Amino acid sequence: MLNGEYGPAAQKAMQILVALGDVYDAEKMAEVSNVHMPGSSVVVAGDAGLSFVEEMADKKACFKAFTTLNPAAVDLAKWSEIGFSKEAAEKQFRLTEAYRRMGGICTHTCTPYLIGNVPRTGENVAWGESSAIAFSNSVLGARTNREGGPSALASSITGRTPLYGYHLQENRRGQVHVRVKAKLSDIPDYGALGYHVGMIAKEAVPVFEGIPLDVNLDRLKMLSAALASSGAVALYHIVGITPEASTLQQAFHGGKPSEAIDFGDDELRDAKQKLSKATGSKVDMVCFGCPHASIGELREISEVLHGRKVHSEVRLWICTSTAVKSLADRMGYTEIIEMSGGTIVCDTCPVLAPTKDFAKRFNVSTIATNSAKLAHYAPGQCNLMPFYGNLKRCVEATAKGVWGK
Ligand code: F3S
């Protein structure tokens, strides 16, 4: 490939991976048959990224690895109705089409593991999107580094990734011991835990002890997203849940942690307060589905919303994939949500959409959410100040237009 025998696109892709491998002293390449592509939104890729992806497609690049796409910048079907600009939509269509031509599956979701991209435990993959990376390494037990757009694209084309970092067993050893003492009762509690620990762990590997073994996947996806927002955690272990961490000893590879912390009621309260940055009480927008909502979450949202009306000055977005929405359509959840005045927004989310323009145009300045990741990024990426709370509190705010106690 490097010599150009497989065409110019494969040659360029292999040059990228060899350069990356040199930086990290990788001894060889690993084969990968599974990629999740970040940089699938034109807001993230920019004009330069769009040109590069189109150039690779024009050079007849063909994905060797099964590749799903991360969220786009707009809802590909309802962009105009929701209020996104024509310019953003047209650029997004070009980017999506270029990936499709190469063989990318146009999932446009950050929860590909909910709709059919589920790598095996121990499988080497090349995933982008911080929340999905942490979920893939820690819940599924697959092995991935934090891939960026160019390296993931190169892996899709070549079916290879440099063998370094989290692909190597020795780098998957737990480092920070987190003793969870607080009772975690809902999704924002898991987000607060991840937010607090991410700030301390930074790039290290936390090991959680004390998380209930019956924790569901929605809570784990929130934990993964939060850890990768305040910190850069790509791998964590939950004793008894992470496939390679059935005991504390196994999580630490028989060694000792470099640090041990407790997460109690004070830390829980403090993290939630830090995430709720909005002042005053007026709520302009409410958003669920960061990471993209599962069908179980859509069911719960529709149950809590049933019979209620979204306040005339509030926008309610529930972000998910088109695949999950089609199930919600069939189940009648979409109808309930739309009857109440809410919108199921597919393919995108406030962080990866041109939300700053949107907020300015529609005079939106606050957002209520149950997602620690969205609360963390909303001020900088969207110009929106967040209120942070559970589903019921957010739905109350949807109906009343104010953040209640
Ligand atoms: Fe997904 Fe967007 Fe949140 S990519 S994790 S919904 S910021």
Domain extents for the chain?
Answer: 8-168, 173-273, 276-400
- Position 389: which residue type? G
Whether residue 372 has its Cβ less than 6 Å from ligand 1: no
What pLDDT is recorded for position 323?
98
Distance between Cα 364 and ligand 1 center (Å): 19
Distance between Cα 10 and ligand 1 center (Å): 30
Average pLDDT score over residue span 196-200:
98
What pLDDT is recorded for position 282?
98
Closest CA to 237 of 218, 210, 264, 270: 210
Q: Which of 111, 136, 320, 349 to mutate to test the pocket of ligand 1 (most atoms within 8 A of CB)?
A: 349
Could you check whether 8-168 and 173-273 share the same CATH topology?
no
Given a cut of 90, whether residue 219 has pLDDT beyond it is yes
Average pLDDT score over residue span 145-168:
98
pLDDT over 70 percentage in the chain: 100
3-class DSSP string for 265-332: HHHHHHHHHHHCCCCCCECCEEEECCCCCCHHHHHHHHHHHCCCCCCCCCEEEEEECHHHHHHHHHHC
The pLDDT tens digits of the residues spanning 328-358 come to 999 999 999 999 999 999 999 999 999 999 9
Domain 8-168 has CATH 3.30.499.10: yes
Distance between Cα 144 and ligand 1 center (Å): 19
Nearest CA to ligand 1 atom 3: 290
What pLDDT is recorded for position 110?
98
Whether residue 351 has its Cβ less than 6 Å from ligand 1: yes
Radius of gyration, alpha carbons of the chain? 21
What pLDDT is recorded for position 405?
77
What pLDDT is recorded for position 402?
98
Distance between Cα 146 and ligand 1 center (Å): 15
Mean pLDDT of the chain: 98
The fold for domain 276-400 equals Aconitase; domain 3 (3.30.499)
Query: Can you tell me which atom of ligand 1 is nearest the CA of 130?
Result: 5
pTM over 0.95: yes
Query: Can you tell me which atom of ligand 1 is nearest the CA of 377?
Result: 7
Architecture of domain 173-273: 3-Layer(aba) Sandwich (3.40)
Nearest CA to ligand 1 atom 5: 291
The pLDDT tens digits of the residues spanning 4-35 come to 999 999 999 999 999 999 999 999 999 999 99
Average pLDDT score over residue span 162-185:
98
What pLDDT is recorded for position 295?
98
